[in-house]
A and B are shown apart, each in its own frame.
Chain A
């Protein structure tokens, strides 16, 4: 176990290093932050001073090693604009994003899983057909359209939910649902197909032959053995949402980390972008680790073979 954890930790560090390095090289290839940062009327001399102050006059390799030297000392640089430590700025925004993502995954699982079971129990029945059509809708409506539609109905027409900003739970209802919509459809389809496959397996037949009641056959025997692929997708979706809520955060003006990163990208505020990438990559690594641990808990075969 200790050996396993050590391997995973090293893999995680390696992943973080690769991802941050790639982004470091990419953003330096895309533009010049000074061009965005400096006021139009600033003269070349002052620009050079500014560039030197930010360390942007150095060769790329020097900048790169300086960056990592800083990281090792817990210093990820300061925002070119506010002068605040980049990591702190991003971390301050993480709770809003986490709440949004957690809520939408929660809604998607709580609705998608029962819907999927419902559809699988009677394939081609009424529920199955209705859900299938809804899920086509769910996967084809663009996020921005759904978001705007919700704002129009619930904020403009009926004025029962706030259209923007973060405060209480009511600020998260529409954004979370916007994000969840596609995932409800995804989870419904996924649970349906995995369950249909498992329900035909021999061990499920054994359970029925033992006289186990149908709800227990489905939940204890079929769904339980079908959990592995589901957990993988739940994990993947969590990671994707964490870094993919940018449109939703923007439409609903939620002060999440994605919106901050988008703004930083416009302004080429490198330290913020890199801090963001580091946080997202760390999140992915953590989720992967948790999914792997869940595998071991859920499947004795994985437990034995590592």
Chain B
């Protein structure tokens, strides 16, 4: 195994359950995925498939008591080379990793900033916490980060409050905050949706540069397959709380094996830079399953044109290797691909 294949993050059989008034939802149901040192892994899937919840679980941030991590392991290899299970780490040790070694950009940038503190204070807080810098030095780092993200007049922005800036600007501030401590892993949940195309390109560039400069790895959650093709080394596809396909980006686009992935790709005919991919993702016929009442067997079978009664609605298929570094969860992938068993 080459050094770049040693996993930085290895999520194994992760399970997250929400108990609400409407019922019990296994939002993440046995998810396994891997982010390797320095790579970008894209996590894609329809709305509600459990992408955000998986990322929250990795960080130990599943909202309690509604949500609960009921199983699995999150192995992370720290700067010191130690591998630790983040789900079983004492709070102090977990806090040292959060914001420093693993940083997160949340899906809703505006509400993710604290309304009563200045942007400078919010970025500087992380720097003070993990790098032991005093407030002034931390503010300098904050200004540098804002400048890196192409925010005009960064010094002046430091004293602005969240309500005084736009959603796109808030998104970039969140990214600046996440990158301030030069994390080894960046978890970015839809980091470019609130941005216009030029700024989006700028942000993706910056992330790529940080990857090169500090060897940062990225778990990139997105609806946008155009962006996936552009930046991801590998892709993990989720459907209804489960991983259904996992492959290097080129292989996934060339030979998607799971009918759901095929549907996703068909709904994006070209690599578009506009944001309409989001709506097209939902253009697969049929409705997303009810999280409180999932179909038995393969959860995609009610919408799948290849579904075989007695097979697909019966047992949950396991992940099966179907190529180099390529795995699929589909009982019928061989038949569909015309590959002899």
Q: How far is the CA of A82 from the CA of B116 in the complex (A)?
A: 54
Q: What chain B residues lie within 8 Å of A207 (beta carbons)? A: 114, 125
Q: With a CB–CB cut-off of 8 A, which chain B residues contact A213?
A: 95
Pairwise interchain contact A210-B98, C-beta atoms closer than 8 A:
yes
Interfacial residues of chain A within 111-142, with CB under 8 A of chain B in the complex: 123-124
Also in contact, A214 and B91, with CB within 8 A (given A206-B106, A208-B61, A300-B163)? yes
> B100 contacts which chain A residues (CB < 8 A)?
211
* B268, chain A: closest CB distance, angstroms: 29
A211 contacts which chain B residues (CB < 8 A)? 95-100, 126, 129-130
Q: Which residues of the other chain, B, contact A203 by a CB distance below 8 angstroms? A: 111-115
Does A202 contact B164, Cβ atoms closer than 8 Å? no
The residue that B106 contacts in the complex, of A205, A221, A299, A304, with Cβ under 8 A, is: A205
Main secondary structure of the interface of B (DSSP, over half): mixed
Mask of B75-102 contacts with A, CB within 8 angstroms, 1/0: 0000000000000000100011111100
Given contacts A202-B111, A203-B111, contact A209 B163 (CB under 8 A): no
Chain B: minimal CB distance from A176 (Å): 32
Report Cα–Cα, A201/B97, bound state, in Å.
22
Q: Quote the shortest CB–CB distance from B177 to chain A (angstroms).
A: 7
Q: Which residues of B contact A212 (CB under 8 A)?
A: 95, 99, 125, 129
A301 engages B163 (CB within 8 Å): yes
Interface string of B50-69 (1 = CB under 8 A from A): 00000010010101010000
Contact call A200/B114, Cβ cutoff below 8 A: no
Which single residue of chain A is at the shortest CB-CB distance from B95? A211
CA gap between A300 and B163 in the complex, in Å: 8
Q: How far is the CA of A124 from the CA of B65 in the complex (A)?
A: 10
Give bound CA distance, A212 to B99, whole Å: 9
Complex Cα gap A213–B114 (Å): 16
Which residues A256-306 have CB closer than 8 A to chain B? 298-301, 304
Known: A206-B113, A214-B91, A225-B115. A304 touches B99 (CB 8 A): no
Majority-rule SS of A interface residues: helix
Q: Mark A146-181, 1 if CB is under 8 A from B, else 0.
A: 000000000000000000000000000000000000
Q: Tally A-B pairs: CB < 8 A.
A: 74
Counting CB contacts under 8 A, is A224 at the interface?
yes
In the bound complex, CA of A96 to CA of B278 (Å): 67
CB nearest neighbor in B for A300: B161
Is B227 interfacial (CB-CB < 8 Å)?
Answer: no
Contact B115 A208 (CB under 8 A): no
In the docked arrangement, what's the CA distance between A286 and B71, Å? 56
Docked complex: A206-239 residues within 8 A CB-CB of B: 206-214, 221, 224-225
Contact B116 A298 (CB under 8 A): yes
Indicate the member of B111, B116, B126 with the most A CB atoms within 10 Å. B116
Contact A210/B116 with A202-B106, A203-B111 known, Cβ cut-off 8 Å = no
Partner of B116, one of A202, A205, A209, A299: A299
A231 to chain B, nearest CB (A): 13
User: Would you call B104 an interface residue if the criterion is a C-beta within 8 Å of the partner chain's C-beta atoms?
Assistant: yes
Q: Contact: A224 with B116, CB < 8 Å?
A: yes
Are B114 and A206 in touch, CB under 8 angstroms?
A: yes
Residues of A near B177 (CB, < 8 A) are 206, 210
Measured CB to CB, the nearest residue on chain A to B94 is A211
Q: Which residues of A contact B (CB under 8 A)?
A: 123-124, 200-203, 205-214, 221, 224-225, 298-301, 304
B interface residue numbers (CB < 8 A to A): 56, 59, 61, 63, 65, 91, 95-100, 103-104, 106, 108, 111-116, 125-126, 129-130, 161, 163-164, 174, 177
Q: Can you name 30 A-B pairs with beta carbons within 8 Å?
A: A123-B65, A201-B111, A203-B112, A203-B113, A203-B115, A205-B61, A205-B106, A205-B112, A206-B112, A206-B114, A206-B174, A207-B125, A209-B104, A209-B106, A210-B129, A211-B98, A211-B126, A211-B130, A212-B99, A212-B125, A213-B95, A221-B114, A224-B116, A298-B116, A299-B115, A299-B116, A300-B163, A301-B115, A301-B161, A304-B163
* A-B pairs, 5 with minimum CB distance: A211-B99, A210-B99, A211-B98, A202-B111, A300-B161
